[in-house]
């Protein structure tokens, strides 16, 4: 019996995906020594670093142009490395982050179930960025002066920019759900997930009911499902069916149906997730609003039935609403009412042409008008493609400004690079997993494929190692990835004009 179910029969696509994974495997084997721990003490420069060093030694001079990126997550780093590859060696690229480490957030559900330790999924920005000729400033941005083009840090220092990319991710709005910060858990950051792992250990010793889910206004659902099923598998591993029986599990969500994901579903997400819930005897409540969280229970209202329930819970993990950071909200017309950075189709602020934004912090409207509000998820590959588009557009602006330095009438250039917003998501559900390929991620889609089975778990592990390898080598859009994904119809950016 095959463990891998291809929901729709795309054999050519499968062959292409297989060769893609093979190429990635070879790359990681040869260049991923640091990530795999083959060599703990010595750093072998990657092919990419050599190429950059060669280019730098041939530096063409010219006035340095300054790009400052705020945020050291997937969005910030993908943008920084794309900029380093596309800009002149003399152009200055700086990343400011209030964390001096990069954490691979998609592995957080593994941290919370002790399949990973934080050090397994983190990389030191102080070492990595300078190695790839990107300045790193460890500090918290506290203010932005758009007139002077100055970024203020909370230690009093100021950094000027010609162009800026805001990639500060979400503010986790636990304050909107009373009690959720004090009595609920989170897997949204790696330190949060580490704390959740401690609470899981306590639950094993002192079992009780478990409630996991996503709140009203949440825009990230995948990790809640992952943690739910991973925890189920973990409890079974640690205490067998007896422990599972003592820890009845419930899933609560603002989604209108299981597997909606804020996306009107992705491939066969509804069927896969409903079947898994039934198989694992997990009760679920959809269309839910969380009223409050207490130490031993939470109150929810099932809005479609106008009924309020009290669910007993010894371990509660809820994905909160994602909002923007207050610093950006203070800048006139930079953000929407939730503090997310307003952007046009080129990732550019319509108000401040030299400010761009990528990742969770940018404003994208909900995909669906649901009874209980849900938001549009922003996933890793989509975020990387936003970074590529932003960088290419900034390069267009830099080159234009330089060419027309003495011509005040030249105005701003027409930008052309739009992210294609394709989605490629790999999930681990404990005993098996699923790969969702959604082109584009937000409907209407031209391709919507789900692959469900045990191989997805291996793909997720490979993806984690591969992504850390990309950060380590300072190349988040390597030629082999570009080529292989192109073969399966997945590209990051288009410069074609919109036809509709």
Secondary structure letter of residue 341 according to DSSP: B
- The secondary element (H helix, E strand) that includes residue 411 is none
Length of the chain: 500
The one catalytic residue in 220, 247, 288, 361 is: 220
Q: How far is the CB of 190 from ligand FAD (least distance, A)?
A: 9
Helices assigned H by DSSP within 332-478: 380-403, 455-472
C-beta closer to ligand FAD: residue 136 or 163 = 136
- Residues binding ligand FAD (CB under 6 A): 70-76, 96-99, 105-106, 108, 140-141, 167-169, 187-188, 220, 222-223, 325, 327, 359-360, 379-381, 383, 425
Is 109 or 478 the residue whose CB approaches ligand FAD more closely?
109
Q: Does residue 361 have an active-site annotation?
A: no
Read out DSSP for 459-490?
HHHHHHHHHHHHHHTT-SS-HHHHHHHHHTT-
Place of tokens 């490979």: 462
Q: Residue 20 or 33: which CB sits closer to ligand FAD?
A: 20
Beta-strand pair 66-70/92-97: parallel
Alpha-carbon torsion (359, 360, 364, 367), positive or negative: positive
Largest CA distance in the chain: 77
Are 435 and 459 within 8 A, CB to CB? yes
Pull the structure tokens for residue 86: 């596309």
In whole angstroms, what is the distance from residue 251 CA to residue 285 CA?
A: 6
Q: Are 321 and 377 in contact (CB under 8 A)?
A: no
Which of residues 112 and 415 has its CB atom nearest to ligand FAD in the complex? Answer: 112
What is the C-alpha separation between 344 and 365, in angstroms, rounded?
12
* Residue that the structure tokens 């591969």 belong to: 466
Are 102 and 125 spatial neighbours (Cβ–Cβ below 8 Å)? yes
Choice between 352 and 381, CB closer to ligand FAD: 381
The DSSP secondary-structure symbol of 401 reads H
CA gap 197, 118 in Å, rounded: 11
Nearer to ligand FAD, 259 or 380 (CB): 380
* Residue 104 CB, nearest approach to ligand FAD (Å): 8
Q: Extract the tokens encoding 57.
A: 């030694």
Q: What is the pairing mode between strands 288-293 and 92-97? A: unpaired
Catalytic machinery residues = 220, 425
């Amino acid at each position: 019996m095959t463990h891998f179910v291809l929901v729709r029969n795309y054999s050519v696509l499968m062959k292409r995906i297989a060769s893609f994974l093979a190429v990635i495997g070879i790359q990681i084997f040869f260049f991923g020594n640091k990530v795999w721990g083959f060599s703990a003490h010595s750093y072998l420069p990657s092919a990419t670093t050599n190429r950059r060093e060669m280019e730098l030694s041939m530096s063409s001079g010219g006035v340095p142009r300054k790009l400052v990126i705020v945020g050291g997550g997937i969005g910030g780093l993908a943008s920084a490395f794309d900029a380093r590859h596309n800009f002149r060696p003399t152009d200055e690229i700086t990343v400011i982050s209030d964390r001096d480490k990069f954490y691979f957030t998609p592995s957080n559900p593994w941290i919370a179930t002790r399949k990973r330790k934080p050090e397994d999924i983190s990389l030191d920005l102080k070492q990595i960025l300078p190695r790839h000729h990107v300045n790193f400033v460890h500090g918290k941005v506290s203010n932005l002066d758009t007139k002077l083009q100055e970024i203020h840090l909370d230690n009093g220092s100021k950094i000027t920019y010609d162009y800026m990319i805001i990639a500060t991710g979400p503010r986790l709005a636990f304050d909107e759900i009373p009690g959720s910060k004090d009595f609920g858990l989170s897997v949204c950051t790696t330190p949060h997930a580490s704390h959740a792992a401690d609470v899981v250990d306590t639950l094993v010793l002192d079992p009780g009911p478990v409630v996991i889910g996503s709140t009203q206004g949440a825009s990230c659902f995948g990790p809640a499902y992952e943690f739910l099923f991973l925890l189920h598998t973990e409890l079974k591993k640690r205490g067998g069916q007896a422990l599972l029986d003592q820890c009845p599990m419930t899933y609560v969500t603002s989604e209108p149906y299981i597997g909606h994901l804020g996306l009107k579903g992705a491939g066969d997400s509804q069927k896969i997730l409903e079947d898994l819930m039934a198989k694992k005897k997990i009760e679920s409540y959809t269309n839910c609003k969380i009223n409050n969280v207490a130490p031993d229970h939470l109150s929810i209202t099932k809005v479609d039935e106008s009924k309020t329930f009290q669910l007993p819970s010894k371990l509660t993990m809820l994905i909160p609403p994602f909002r923007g950071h207050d610093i950006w909200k203070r800048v006139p017309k930079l953000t929407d009412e939730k503090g997310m950075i307003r952007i046009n189709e080129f990732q550019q602020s319509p108000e401040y042409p030299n400010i761009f934004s990528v990742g969770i912090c940018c404003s994208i409207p909900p995909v669906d008008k649901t009874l209980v509000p849900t938001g549009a998820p922003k996933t890793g590959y989509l975020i990387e493609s936003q970074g590529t588009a932003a960088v290419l557009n900034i390069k267009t602006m830099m080159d234009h400004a330089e060419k027309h330095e003495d011509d005040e009438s030249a105005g701003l250039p027409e930008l052309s690079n739009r992210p294609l917003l394709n989605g490629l998501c790999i999930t681990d559900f404990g005993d098996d997993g699923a790969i969702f390929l959604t082109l584009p991620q937000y409907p209407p889609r031209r391709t919507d494929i789900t692959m469900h089975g045990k191989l997805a778990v291996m793909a997720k592990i490979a993806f984690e190692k591969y992504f850390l390898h990309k950060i380590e080598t300072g190349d988040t859009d390597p030629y082999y990835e570009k080529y292989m994904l192109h073969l399966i119809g997945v590209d990051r950016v288009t410069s074609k004009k919109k036809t509709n």
